[in-house]
Amino acid sequence: MKKIFTTKMSFFFVAVILLWIKSYFIYSIEFRLDIKGGIQEFLLFFNPLSSALIFLGLALFAKGKRAGIWIIVIDTIMTILLYANVVYYRVNNDYITLPTLTQTSNFGSLGGSIASLVTWTDILYAVDIIILIALFMWSKRFWSTSRMSFKKPLLVLIAGAIAFSVNLSMAEADRPQLLKRTFDRNYIVKYLGIYNFAVYDAIQNVKTSSQRVLADSDDITEVENYTKNKFAEPNDELFGTAAGKNIIKIHLESFQTFLIDYELHGEEVTPFLNSLVHDQEEDFTYFDNIFHQTEQGKTADAEFLLANSIYGLPQGAAFVTRGNNTYQAFPAILNQELDYTSAVFHGDYKSFWNRDEIYKQFGIDTYFDASYYNMIEENVINYGLKDKPFFEESMPLLESIDQPFYAHLQTLTHHHPYLISEEDATIAPAETGDASVDRYFQTARYLDEALEQFFTDLKEAGMYDDSVIILYGDHYGISQNHNRAMKELLGEEITAFKNAQLQRVPLFIKIPGVDGQGTNHNYGGLIDVMPTLMHLIGINGQDYIQFGTDLFSDEHNQVVPFRNGDVVTPEFSYVSGTYYDTTTGEELEPTEEMEEIKNTAQHELELSDKLLNGDLLRFYQPTEAWEPVDPSIYKYGKEAYDPFESEYEEPFDDVIEYEDYNKEKEETNEN
Ligand code: GP9
Ligand code: MN
């Protein structure tokens, strides 16, 4: 018995087990990880093991008793890292990242209240270290003084690496492309643990900062020349027609253009949106040839395109990996040029897609995230708040902010895997047998109804007639994994060409006091929305770096680069290396001109990447009066702004568990 506790190896394993159990225990009680299903439950328990084996295992390379000291030192460092995250989480509901460490403002809120965040029971989190020290003092006299053979620590590290691979592959099966898509810190911590998250975060930051360091002010000139040359002069009749008006921008989650006027079982799926297309009285201009241009960042990419007229990145979400860049985003421009306020409304928690950080760089004054909404069981489905309560509860919040405002409302129910309760479904599902595709129409209908109600509320509040209203689909909802079902629904084979054409998303714009144009067939992308809006508001876009052009301008460029390098124009489409006639879908032999157009479009994407990777806007002064955005002045959450001081029930306790959620994701792999 004594022998078991007196060797270096046994001391090491005691340390591993204690750190493992402690980490699991702290994750469970301190972080709100929203664990759903057995796999997530298991991984939360399992994930500290690999870190404990690998990090503590390094200590075993030290000679003799020093190995014991190193185990204690490394254990203490890991505990400090974990505990610092606990304290940070208690205030910010988020984890520490390297950039947040350098932005002292993040700790500003911590400063005064640090004492209230730490309780005496926290000392329990160090109990294992005290046990280890005692065990070490007692047992070290029995330890051998020589270095152990290299084999043993090596085996430990290999075991740690195997545990990590098992962990990561199970996590990726449950959440495809977990690390690449850079979803949410919460996900990475849930699946891989806080220690692995810290390593991941460090690697990301080294990558980002090295590219940034190598860039200099000359690099912006090439980008500036390109965008100035592409700039399209405003449409004289429309320029400034919306000056001083509120902007209400509504993000239609996963909404593709094919839904407009689509009939299922002889019924319109989205009668309300269809009425905006067809009813001239509504004065909307509907664009039917707009493409989404997003990649892995999905919603975040769409938001990014609309707020900056800069493309997202080919991999990962710029929202996350370039979340600390300098931007000259639309909300900040509106504020500096015309004294607008800005707010985002969204029924999900603030750290998703790193919104709570990048919004500061965009100059967004208020972020009404899920903490402002009543997230009770009946109001919540899938990723967050259902669209109907979302719009309903957004109304008073919208009325609480200073006008003129830029308000961005982000819907959520019409999101893969399109979960909907029976009471909320007012149209029967499609019958392809592909469950998420079948429900896609039901959640689209639900969104349509939610919008109709919101428009009524806007009218009642007197805001409808006096606001610019924009609606846009953010990205596809049905991926190529569902081609069989889509073929059945659309009555044609989903070829590569057809799939590219399906990347259309609707765009609606209403300008107060200006007649709608009905359907505008101009080709464009989400990249073009900001330049269009700027001109309507009466700000000339020429001074700013924007890759898109005004959709209403006679000089608007109708070449649409996709983020994957494909290109669509009214005449031809370039899809995975092949040219097609956009109208007929027939393959084409490319002319030199077509190749040049395609190359220019791809060059544009490269310039956009260069701009982001080098953080080049920090070198750009758009106007004499321009003041770089200071992210430290923005604070989000009810502590910063709470118009009604409403008390909501503690979220998540009541969130519905979806047993088939993970199963379905596995079947479809990715939405
Ligand atoms: C989550 C929501 C969904 O907050 O925006 O993002 P998506 O999965 O569409 O990128
Ligand atoms: Mn989305």
Same domain? For 181 and 285 the reply is no
pLDDT 10s digits, 552-578: 999 999 999 999 899 999 999 999 889
Domain-located, residue 83: yes
Is pLDDT at 101 greater than 80 in this prediction?
Answer: no
Following CA atoms 53, 56, 60, 64 in sequence, which dihedral angle do they give, to the nearest 10 degrees? Answer: -140
Q: Which residues surround ligand 2, an ion (CB under 5 A)?
A: 253, 298-299, 474
Beta strands 366-368 and 341-346, pairing class: parallel
> 658 CA to middle of ligand 2, Å?
20
Q: Is 299 in the pocket of ligand 1 (CB under 6 A)?
A: yes
Domain ends where: 212, 246, 280? 212
Q: Is 352 in the pocket of ligand 1 (CB under 6 A)?
A: yes
Cα dihedral across residues 642, 643, 649, 652: positive or negative: negative
Is pLDDT at 664 greater than 50 in this prediction?
Answer: no
Instruction: Find the angle CA(183)-CA(184)-CA(190) to the nearest 5 degrees.
Output: 115
Same domain? For 466 and 548 the reply is yes
Nearest CA among 345, 333, 386, 376 for reference residue 643: 345
Q: What is the pLDDT of residue 358?
A: 97
Q: What is the pLDDT of residue 259?
A: 98
Domain that holds residue 505: 238-557
Answer yes or no: are the C-beta atoms of 406 and 341 closer than 8 Å. Answer: yes
Same domain? For 432 and 525 the reply is yes
Domain-located, residue 606: no
Domain ends where: 212, 227, 258? 212
How far is CA 511 from its chain centroid? 29
The response to whether 415 counts as a known ligand-binding position is yes
Instruction: Find the angle CA(177)-CA(179)-CA(181) to the nearest 5 degrees.
Output: 60
Same domain? For 448 and 331 the reply is yes
- The share of the chain scoring above pLDDT 90, in percent, equals 77
pLDDT 10s digits, 589-633: 999 999 999 999 999 999 999 999 999 999 999 999 999 999 999
Same domain? For 172 and 277 the reply is no
> 411 CA to middle of ligand 1, Å?
9
Q: How many CA atoms lie within 13 Å of 574's alpha carbon, on the beta-carbon side?
A: 24
pLDDT 10s digits, 371-426: 999 999 999 998 899 999 999 999 999 999 999 999 999 999 999 999 999 999 99
Same domain? For 65 and 205 the reply is yes
Assign residue 258 the CATH number of its domain: 3.40.720.10
What predicted TM-score, i.e. pTM, was given to this entire model?
Answer: 0.79
> 324 CA to middle of ligand 1, Å?
20
Domain-located, residue 148: yes
Same domain? For 152 and 35 the reply is yes
Same domain? For 375 and 248 the reply is yes
In this structure, which amino acid lies at residue 204?
A: Q
Q: Which residue has the higher pLDDT, 414 or 669?
A: 414
SS3 285: strand
Q: Which residue has the higher pLDDT, 304 or 90?
A: 304
Domain-located, residue 503: yes
Same domain? For 204 and 248 the reply is no
Domain-located, residue 169: yes
Phi, psi of 438 (to 5 degrees): -60, -40
The response to whether 474 counts as a known ligand-binding position is yes
Is pLDDT at 655 greater than 50 in this prediction?
Answer: no
The secondary element (H helix, E strand) that includes residue 345 is strand 341-346
Task: Write the burial class of residue 234 (CB in 10 Å: 0-12 exposed, 13-18 middle, 19+ buried).
Answer: buried
CA distances to 33, 156, 160, 189 from 47, rounded to whole Å, are 14, 16, 10, 9
Total domains, the chain: 2
> 72 CA to middle of ligand 2, Å?
45
Give the mean model confidence (pLDDT) for residues 463-475: 97
Same domain? For 119 and 263 the reply is no
Domain-located, residue 325: yes
Q: Which residue among 299, 345, 443 is best mutated to probe the pocket of ligand 1, counting the most ligand atoms within 8 A of its Cβ?
A: 299
Q: Is 292 in the pocket of ligand 1 (CB under 6 A)?
A: no
Same domain? For 138 and 274 the reply is no
Same domain? For 395 and 533 the reply is yes
Domain-located, residue 291: yes
The response to whether 253 counts as a known ligand-binding position is yes
Domain ends where: 506, 525, 557? 557
pLDDT 10s digits, 188-200: 899 999 999 999 9
Domain-located, residue 256: yes
The lowest-confidence range among 32-41, 52-61, 98-107 is 98-107
